């Protein structure tokens, strides 16, 4: 069992949140394309769907993809963090640098991946 300190927990939750946000954005694009595809290719069938079915078609892929990316982000973070003692310090140093950077820099790093 690992005993983690506050900084490790904060770094982990931040990494997971960012990966979940990235997955949510990908999910919105995916579900938006799927929603438009169904609406344009089957307009008569689409017109018979009630609002709950339409909202489910749009929301569920976004939520599912966001959850998947967040989970994969957790696994990736653990691999990076606990590979070796040196990697733990590098990850925490990167987190400290990210935490102290400005909002524009954070957005640029998020977009770059």
Read off the pLDDT of residues 60-87 as tens digits, 9 standing for 90 and up.
999 999 999 999 999 999 898 888 878 8
Distance CA(45)–CA(33), nearest Å, equals 17
Q: Say whether 2 sits in a helix, a strand or coil.
A: coil
In 1-113, DSSP assigns E strands to none
Gap between the Cα atoms of 4 and 88, Å rounded: 11
Q: Where are the domains of the chain?
A: 7-112
Q: Is the pTM of this model over 0.85?
A: no
Distances (CA, A) of 32 to 25, 57, 61, 96, 102: 10, 9, 9, 36, 31
Question: pLDDT for 27-71, tens place per residue?
Answer: 999 999 999 999 999 999 999 999 999 999 989 999 999 999 999
């Amino acid at each position: 069992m690992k005993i983690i300190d506050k900084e490790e927990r904060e770094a982990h939750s931040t990494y997971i949140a960012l990966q979940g946000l990235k997955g949510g954005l990908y999910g919105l694009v995916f579900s938006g394309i799927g929603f438009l595809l169904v609406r344009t290719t089957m307009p008569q069938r689409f017109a018979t769907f009630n609002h709950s079915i339409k909202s489910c078609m749009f929301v569920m892929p976004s939520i599912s993809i966001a959850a998947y990316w967040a989970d994969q982000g957790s696994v990736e973070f653990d691999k990076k963090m606990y590979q070796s003692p040196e990697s733990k310090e590098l990850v925490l140093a990167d987190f400290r640098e990210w935490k102290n950077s400005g909002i524009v820099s954070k957005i640029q790093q998020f977009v770059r991946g």
